[in-house]
């Protein structure tokens, strides 16, 4: 994120005519205001302009605001930029989803322009404090778009292991399409999307066996298996021992041979 005397605000909205009064209020602050009207354009402009703050719509065609937010969270030079959802999507589930994806605020398009300006000013001040602290070492590392999509998909899946997935859902949630997502996983990880999901579920299962006292059914449900028996079968095939044997060995301090 760039820090400048005149803050730079990027607005991403497919129908900017709907927020004309809000855009006028932003420009009246003598801030630099850039506009993108698609998710893809917003991604490109966020990457090239490195704005100080992003105002992001939710309901956009092709790539919605939630998918774009996931991608921006994986861009090293943008991930610290505050993202404020500015939208007409007012359902409680949408508000929670926006905030859970890393949005720092959720503002309705019907808000008074003065309220929008007040909220933006607060987050610009908070962002200045964040910029004064050391950021992670990879902030200056260039990443390809495929790497961004891969990281976003992996983070999304890891946070929803208990839920059923379709390839179409995952792809849409990270702003791409099924064939492209499948190709990225094969090229970068050498496996299909669902093979990686299975590995991640078993990895999380191993961690829960060691770190908790949860029963097998509870662990199975948390990592996305329908039953304890399904989890046990998959675990034994991958690790070579049953979950109970794995937990017992861990409790006894025995050396555990992790699968490659």
Ordered per-residue pLDDT tens for the chain, 260 residues: 444 468 999 999 999 999 999 999 999 998 999 999 999 999 999 999 999 999 999 999 989 999 999 999 999 889 889 999 999 888 888 888 888 888 899 999 999 999 999 999 999 988 876 655 445 444 456 789 999 999 999 999 999 999 988 999 999 999 999 999 999 999 999 999 999 999 999 999 999 999 999 999 999 999 999 999 999 999 999 999 999 999 999 888 765 555 55
The pLDDT score that the predictor gives to residue 260 is: 58
- The answer to whether residues 204 and 127 belong to one domain is no
- The answer to whether residues 20 and 136 belong to one domain is yes
- The answer to whether residues 113 and 206 belong to one domain is no
The pLDDT score that the predictor gives to residue 138 is: 47
Q: Which domain holds residue 189?
A: 145-251
Number of domains comprising the chain:
2
List the one residue out of 153, 222, 162, 223 whose CA is nearest residue 189: 153
Say which DSSP state 16 is in.
Answer: G
Instruction: Assign residue 241 the CATH number of its domain.
Output: 1.10.10.60
- The answer to whether residues 162 and 69 belong to one domain is no
The pLDDT score that the predictor gives to residue 259 is: 57
List the one residue out of 83, 67, 80, 224 whose CA is nearest residue 152: 67
Residue 240 lies in a domain: yes
C-alpha pair distances (Å), 83 with each of 151, 196, 219, 224, 231: 19, 30, 34, 31, 39
The pLDDT score that the predictor gives to residue 143 is: 84
Pairing status of strand 8-12 against strand 53-56:
parallel
Residue 259 lies in a domain: no
- The answer to whether residues 157 and 227 belong to one domain is yes
- The answer to whether residues 123 and 210 belong to one domain is no
User: Which of 140, 168, 196 is the C-terminal boundary of a domain?
Assistant: 140
User: Which of 108, 140, 172 is the C-terminal boundary of a domain?
Assistant: 140
The pLDDT score that the predictor gives to residue 141 is: 61
The pLDDT score that the predictor gives to residue 9 is: 96
Instruction: Assign residue 123 the CATH number of its domain.
Output: 3.40.50.2300
- The answer to whether residues 119 and 74 belong to one domain is yes
- The answer to whether residues 128 and 153 belong to one domain is no
Residue 15 lies in a domain: yes
List the one residue out of 39, 223, 233 whose CA is nearest residue 145: 39
- The answer to whether residues 124 and 39 belong to one domain is yes
The pLDDT score that the predictor gives to residue 92 is: 86
- pTM, entire model: 0.82
Residue 176 lies in a domain: yes
List the one residue out of 151, 123, 147, 141 whose CA is nearest residue 53: 123
Number of Cβ within 10 Å of residue 22's Cβ equals 24
């Amino acid at each position: 994120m760039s820090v400048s005397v005149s803050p730079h605000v990027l607005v991403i909205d497919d129908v900017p005519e709907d927020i004309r009064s809000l855009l006028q209020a932003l420009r009246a602050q003598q801030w630099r205001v850039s506009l993108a009207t698609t998710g893809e354009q917003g991604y490109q402009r966020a990457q090239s302009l490195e704005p100080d703050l992003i105002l992001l719509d939710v309901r956009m065609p092709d790539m919605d605001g939630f998918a774009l937010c996931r991608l921006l969270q994986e861009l090293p030079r943008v991930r610290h930029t505050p993202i404020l959802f500015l939208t007409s999507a007012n359902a409680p589930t949408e508000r929670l989803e926006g905030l859970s994806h890393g949005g720092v605020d959720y503002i309705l398009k019907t808000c008074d322009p003065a309220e929008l300006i007040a909220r933006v000013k607060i987050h610009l001040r908070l962002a200045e404090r964040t910029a004064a602290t050391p950021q992670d070492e990879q902030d200056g590392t260039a990443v390809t778009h495929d790497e961004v999509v891969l990281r976003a998909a992996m983070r999304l899946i890891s946070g929803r292991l208990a839920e059923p997935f379709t390839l179409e859902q995952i792809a849409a949630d990270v702003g791409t399409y099924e064939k492209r997502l499948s190709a990225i996983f094969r090229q970068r990880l050498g496996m299909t999307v669902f093979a990686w999901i299975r590995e991640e579920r078993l990895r999380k299962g191993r961690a829960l066996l060691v770190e908790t006292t949860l029963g097998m059914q509870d662990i199975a449900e948390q990592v996305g298996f329908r039953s304890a028996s399904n989890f046990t079968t998959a675990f034994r095939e991958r690790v070579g021992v049953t979950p109970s044997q794995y937990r017992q060995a861990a409790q006894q301090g025995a050396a555990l041979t992790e699968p490659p």
